[in-house]
A = this chain, B = another copy of it.
């Protein structure tokens, strides 16, 4: 039987959309990376009866419960009292906790205030988890075979105490259970249903596939279980190879890398440089490419040529091409790609022109119509027409991804 973990996060600020629940997000990730998995997550505001109720539900279904928040000194910090009532032990001034708070204040040359004594009042019989990173001590309690870890909600303290106390404890408790290894495969160019169709029949014992539409990409979380870490890792590698083969041309990374990271790696590896000419994406391609540290090594320059004048004057697009084919056309994006490549003196030029909407569509070129052109020493000039759906921002995003993939394909065929 697997080891069941529940995370309970408390605080009005989480319930009212004022603060994102970063502790849960972080904890889910680090647990998964250790082959552990949070099975349940509950959030409640600062109400005594709701917190106690959440403890009871968690005890009924989990082997270990991690509680975040409500350990501060103010009136709306209710966790210690809620835990004492739930455990039926009552509160007492915990000498070890008090000493750790006093030591912290002394170290900073400050005097502990009376209000902080509250933070040393913990359920009787608990094990103190000393907080070396902040004021509020945490603690560990057991009830009917379920272990509860109570941690402060301050993210720095929560994370440090998770690493120092909780993860080692959970790994000991879960020892001997099956190991899990996981990997994030990122794809572009197929809808979620298309990815699923191609992977149909891959499910098998010991493997879990999770799909996630992350517009305009589809991500796959592949988890493999095995008797040992090595067995899980080897099953995972086998599955990943199979997935990559079935989705050839759509998978751009199997380790969670972003598209612009992969592009940057390829450009750097091959010692090639890039320049961009953008119309409908308005600078988004250049923005994404330059999000990568060190991108100035391979990204030379970009032009956002929103007007026809800019396309002619800066990029040297022939006036006739604009008149004859329109700004949204194959000949124009090829000329833009050639123009920016020449202007920048880069190895590759990529250009896009399209109708991002919501206005500007025609029957021949509806909103979402996009041309992507490239020009490179290895492949010469070329262009392709696409049709994307969605809002203006979605069409911009999908176009930028398609353009980056197009450059990646040139690089992959250019060994």
Contacts and interface: CB of A to CB of B under 8 A. Distances in A.
Interface of A: 11-21, 24-32, 37-47, 50, 53-54, 57, 61, 72-76, 108, 113, 115-116, 154, 156, 182, 184, 192-193, 196-197, 203, 208-215, 219, 221, 276, 278, 281-287, 289-291, 293-296, 299-307, 309-310, 313-314, 343-345, 356-359, 389, 391-393, 396
Contact of A39 (B13, B44, B192): B44
A17 B39 contact: no
A196 B76 CA distance: 10
Copy tally for this chain in the complex stands at 2
A13 B184 CA distance: 11
A300 B359 CA distance: 17
A108 B303 CA distance: 32
Given A20-B25, A115-B197, 8 more contacts: A16-B221, A46-B210, A72-B211, A73-B192, A75-B203, A283-B290, A302-B302, A310-B344
A101 B272 CA distance: 45
Contact of A17 (B32, B61, B309): B32
A306 B294 contact: no
Contact of A210 (B12, B213, B287): B12
A294 B197 CA distance: 39
Contacts of A32: 15-18
Contacts of A41: 14-15, 42-44
Contacts of A113: 193, 197
A18 B293 contact: no
